[in-house]
Amino acid sequence: MFGTSIHWTTFFYLLIDTIIVILALIQNPKIKQLSLRRYIILGCLFVLYNLTGGFLPDHSFLKPLILQYIITYGVAIALCVYLIYYLYKDYDIIFLKRYFSIKNIGITLIVGFIILFLIPYLITGSLDSARILFTLPTSVLGFIFLGLFYRRISEIKIQNSFFSKRKKLSTTSIGCIVLLPILTVIGDYQWLTFTVMNLAFYTITALEIYRYIYLIKNQGKLYKVLNFNEESDQNLVKNKIIFQNLTRREFEIALFILSKSSYKKIAKQLFIAENTVSKHASNIFRKTGTNNRKEFLDRFLKN
């Protein structure tokens, strides 16, 4: 297409992803409670992935050719690591910190790419051999991570449609990026590889839409908090209140607090430490100009 190696499906995903990112940039200031900053960064990485993976390698562009492979693989690695980081933040995941921290995942993929792909390719000149050497162990590690991730989020026991959908969508998204090494070994089938990879982005997009719907449905509980958000920005100096927007996790915990759930119960339902809930609660109180749980409930609980 356009005299390049890009397939029409890849170009289609490139357009769709670009439109989604632009819409997110437009909407972000309007829905401060659901800060889309991380989502926009993720979207930009998918746009870059479609660009580099679709148009490269190009024999008439940058030489030697290995530089183009470094760019395409580098973008793919950055995308996969950031998507995992995105979901770690969404779930407050701190499990397996020693082995599967974002830092360790990133270092493992970069070192693996250099040792198992770059060096063999420079020595043998065989792209297929280098791909197999790099992708097979990466696939094994990917499926181990997928299993551990699913087991971790399955321990979150909440009878709530949003949290149920979030678990399914998150698992699908991780599953898509875990399949990337296998799809790479299969061959240069852009229509297949880029369909699976972009599905990861669209599941995250669906997750954010469901999160917004969840917030809308619970506006009855949060209406005073949301109203305080707007008023505090206007009366910051007058009321001498230091206020910042609640994070998405703080909004979730605020809903539990407004439902009069104990910190212990919230921790059990979200499968996070009780101390973590307490820290989030302290931030909620500080940002809403209250001193403690009782004062927060007295001010914001709808009678």
Residue 260's Cβ-count burial label (10 Å; 0-12, 13-18, 19+) is: exposed
Q: What is the pLDDT of residues 138-164, one digit of tens each?
A: 999 999 989 988 887 776 666 567 778
Residue 1 domain-assigned (yes or no): no
Residues 52-61: b if buried by 16+ CB within 10 A, e if exposed = bbbbbbeeee
118 and 262 within one domain = no
Whose CA is closest to 280, among 268, 263, 294? 263
Residue 155 domain-assigned (yes or no): yes
CATH code at 282?
3.40.50.2300
User: Could you give the number of structural domains in the chain?
Assistant: 2
* Cβ–Cβ under 8 Å, residues 49 and 105: no
* Cβ–Cβ under 8 Å, residues 215 and 251: yes
Residue 170 domain-assigned (yes or no): yes
- The parent domain of residue 277 ranges over 220-300
192 and 227 within one domain = no
213 and 148 within one domain = yes
Q: What is the pLDDT of residues 207-246, one digit of tens each?
A: 988 888 877 776 655 555 555 444 444 443 333 333 346 7
- Record the pTM: 0.77
Q: What is the pLDDT of residues 239-284, one digit of tens each?
A: 333 334 677 778 778 888 888 888 888 887 776 778 888 988 898 8
